[in-house]
Amino acid sequence: MSVLPVSGFLSNPGRTEGEMKTALEDVRDVIAELLGGSIETELTIATGSVTPTGAVHSIDTESDAASDDLANILQTNHPDGRLLLIHANDGARDVVVKDSAGGAGQIILRGAADFTLDTTDKWLLLKRTGTNWEELFRSIITVKKDTDRITANLTTTSGSFVDATGLSITFTTGANRVLLILNTTVSNASATVSTDLTFDIDGTDVGGSRGLVGIPSVAAGERQQVGMSYLTDVLTAASHTFKVTWKSGDGVNTSTMHAVDNHTIFSAIEILGG
């Protein structure tokens, strides 16, 4: 690994030309090993480890396997305190960065959980601390978004949660979180009855008996704008269905979700690194 000359070395008038040339080359080598100091290069996992030579590397799986564990990052070329930025070399080959696998060069990740680099634009920034690498930051990026918009008003008198017709999204996620967002306008025919809303994930409502939000009436038929959001736990890598469900507060008076002259939009956004 490259190290800087000690403080005062370059300004010492007693230095020879040869010593100065060597010291300046050391400075150049250190800069080349820092973030932005040189171009990104590829490293291939070998028996669970890689040996970085620079500050930015793409990581590929051993023998181009579909998935491979990265348990240790050897510190041969990086002194204590050095930063390292990595991402997957190929989005079709998952690099599973293992948390606290043990041994020199183990990686200490946020939340004490493994982190999978499964797209080329998913990044992990690490700092060497002693014999470990500690996570500083990871990228959080949207990888998939779907939106439903209805154009006709919906009504319900149900006293239990039912699907809001047309506000259902199904797609396949990775092992990630999904942000659900609803923007709508609701009213109830009674001045004293609420309209309750929640989200349903794979057949399970995420709210309580009143849902995530209960919108009380201020006057019969008075419209009120609603913004509702929910960030899921980490989901399994599989197909998932997300729905808006709702009910009338008393199961008698009619609740209306307005879409003719008000916007009703439901979005599901898969988040990486969340």
CATH at 162: 2.60.120.760
Q: Are both 53 and 111 inside the same structural domain?
A: yes
Hey, what are 126's tokens? 């690490």
Owning domain of residue 190: 142-272
Into how many domains does the chain fold? 2
- Does residue 214 register a pLDDT over 60? yes
Residues 202-221, mean pLDDT to the nearest whole number = 92
Single out the residue in 139, 158, 186 at which a domain terminates: 139
Do 93 and 73 lie in one domain? The reply is yes
**Domain end residue (candidates: 75, 108, 139):** 139
**Reported confidence tier of residue 143, pLDDT bands at 50, 70, 90:** low
CA dihedral 10, 37, 126, 77 (to 10 degrees): -60
pLDDT score at 142 = 58
Encode pLDDT of 222-273 as tens digits.
Answer: 999 999 999 999 999 899 999 999 999 999 999 999 999 888 999 999 987 5
Same-domain pairing of 185 and 254 = yes
Give 73's strand partners. Answer: 50
Q: Could you say which of 107, 124, 139 is where a domain stops?
A: 139
How does pLDDT run across 166-189, given as a tens digit for each residue? 999 999 988 889 999 999 999 999
Its pTM stands at 0.59
Residues 87 and 129 in one domain: yes
Structural domain includes residue 87? yes
Tell me the average pLDDT of the chain.
Answer: 93
Is 88 inside any structural domain? yes
Asked whether residue 4 is domain-assigned, the answer is no
What is the torsional sign of CA 113, 118, 123, 127?
Answer: positive
